[in-house]
Amino acid sequence: MNLVSSKRMVLPDVLKGIGIILVVMGHNIQFGSGREYLADDRLFFGNFLFKLIYTFHMPLFMLISGYFFSMSAKRHTIREICRSRFYKIFVPMAMWNLVHFLVTIIRGLKWAEYPYPLHCIRVYFETFVKNWWFLWALLIYSVLMIPVLKIKNSLCKAVYLLCIFALMHVTPDSYSFNCYKYCSIYFVTGFYWHHFNLQDTRIISCFRKNEIITLILFSGIFVLMFPFMTRDTYAYTTGVTLLSKDVCTQIYNNTFRWIIGYVGCICFILFVKIIISGKENSKVVLELSKIGRNTIGIYIISGLFENYCMPKLTSKLFFNPVILLLETVLLMLFCGIVIKGIRKNEKASKLLLGD
C-alpha cells in the first residue's frame, strides 16, 4: 500500500475525499435523522452504515496524516513543522471556535449569562478545548512525535513510545482523550510506515503484487469481525483507559477496535487504489481529489452546520438511506460554496482554512 507512487498526487487526496464524505455521512446519521435517532444514541450506534463507517474512517485519516508527517519531518526542520501546524490547524480552529462561540451566545443564550469579559474568555477556551477533537489530535500527535525526531537511539525511541502507550491506559478519558488515544496508534503506524519504507519490505511487496487477492483476504477478515462490532466497541462509548473498569473487557474492546480499524483501512485503501487505477485524470477522481484537499474546512463547517441546523431541519424525519444521501450531498455542496467564498479573500482564507 504505497501511498506515494505514480498516484502520489491523486490517491491520498482521493482517500481523504471519500473519507471526509463518510465523516459527513456518519454525522448526518447521528444528527440529521430526526427524533428517531436523537432520542436514543443506541439507534445510530447500532446502525449498519454507521458501524461500517466508524470502523475505519478516523483510523484512515490518522494513517495518512502520520505518513505525511513523516515526510515533512524528513524535508523540514522541527521549527518549520511546528509553524506549519500552527497556521494550518491551530489558527483555523481558534477562528472557527470564535464563530461558534459568538453564534451560540447570540442565538441561544442571553448576554446576561456572560456578565464579565474574563468569564467569556473562560467559556471560549472551554469550548475550544472540547471542540474539533480530530484536529486537536493531529496537533497533539505532532508534539508527541517531536522527541522521536530528536532522539537518535532506536531503543530510547521505542521506550518513549511504549511509555506513552502505557500512559494511555492509566489516564482519564475526559476532554475527548478517549478519541486521541484511540487514533494515536494509527498516526504512529503511518509515521513509521513511511519512515522505514515498509512498503518495500519483502512481505509487503508480495501483498502489493497481488492486490486483488490481498483485498479479498482482508475483506474476509473484516466480514468475520464486523458482527462483533457493538456499541461497547466504539471508543466514544467505552473509552480506552483501564481505570475503574473491567480490565479484561476493556482490553478486548481496545484490541478489537484497533484491529478492525487496521483491517478496514487496508480494505478501503486497496479497493480505492484498484478502482481508480488508470482513471487518475477522470472527472470523478479529480473532484474527489479536490474534496480531499479541503478536508479541514469541510470537517469544521459541516460540524457547525450539523450542530446548529441539521437537527431542526430534519426534526420531522425518520432515518432513510435516500434522505441520508441527499443530506450528505447538499451539505457537501454547502461546504464547497462556503470554502469557495472564503478563498476569495486571502486573509480570510489563511485564518479560516490555513491556506
Q: What is the mean pLDDT of residues 307-328?
A: 83
Confidence class for position 248, pLDDT limits 50, 70, 90? very high
Segment 296-307 mean pLDDT? 90
Percentage above 90 pLDDT, the chain? 53
> What is the Cα–Cα distance from 251 to 210, expressed in whole angstroms?
33
Whether 85 has a pLDDT exceeding 70, the answer reads: yes
**Residue 69: pLDDT above 50?**
yes
| pLDDT value of position 316 | 77
pLDDT-derived band at 7, boundaries 50, 70, 90: very low
Average the pLDDT over 251-270 and give the result. Answer: 96
pLDDT in tens, 324-340: 899 999 999 999 999 99
Q: Find the helix or strand (DSSP H, E) in which 131 lies.
A: none
Q: Nearest 5°: CA angle at 350, between 308 and 186?
A: 70
Gap between the Cα atoms of 145 and 147, Å rounded: 6
Give mean pLDDT, residues 30-39: 71
Q: What is the pLDDT of residue 167?
A: 92
Per-residue model confidence (pLDDT) at position 205: 74
Task: Name the pLDDT band for 114 (thresholds 50, 70, 90).
Answer: low
Cα separations (Å) of 328 from 24, 203, 346? 6, 39, 28
When pLDDT is cut at 50, 70 and 90, the band that residue 116 belongs to is low
Quote the CA–CA distance of 68 and 182 in Å, as a whole number. 19
pLDDT, mean of residues 265-274: 95
**Domain map (residue ranges) of the chain:** 11-353
Pull the grid cell for residue 30.
447521528
Q: Rank 53-62, 172-181, 204-213, 238-247 by mean pLDDT and report only the highest.
A: 53-62
User: What pLDDT does 259 receive?
Assistant: 97
pLDDT digits (tens, 9 = 90+) for 188-231: 999 999 888 877 777 777 777 788 999 999 999 999 999 999 99
Residue 103 pLDDT class (50, 70, 90 cuts)? confident
Residue 239 has a pLDDT of 92
Residues 42 and 56: their CA atoms lie apart, in Å, by 19
- Which tens digit of pLDDT belongs to each residue from 119-148? 667 777 777 877 888 899 999 999 899 888
Q: Which of 146-155, 264-273, 304-313 has the lowest mean pLDDT?
A: 304-313
Q: Which residues contact 242 (CB under 8 A, 6 or more apart)?
A: 169, 170, 250, 251
Mean confidence (pLDDT) of the chain: 86
State mean pLDDT over 293-307. 91
CA distance 27 to 327: 10
Higher pLDDT, 118 or 239: 239
**Residue-level pLDDT at 132:** 84
pLDDT at position 4 is 46
More confidently predicted of 169 and 112: 169
Return the pLDDT at 244: 81
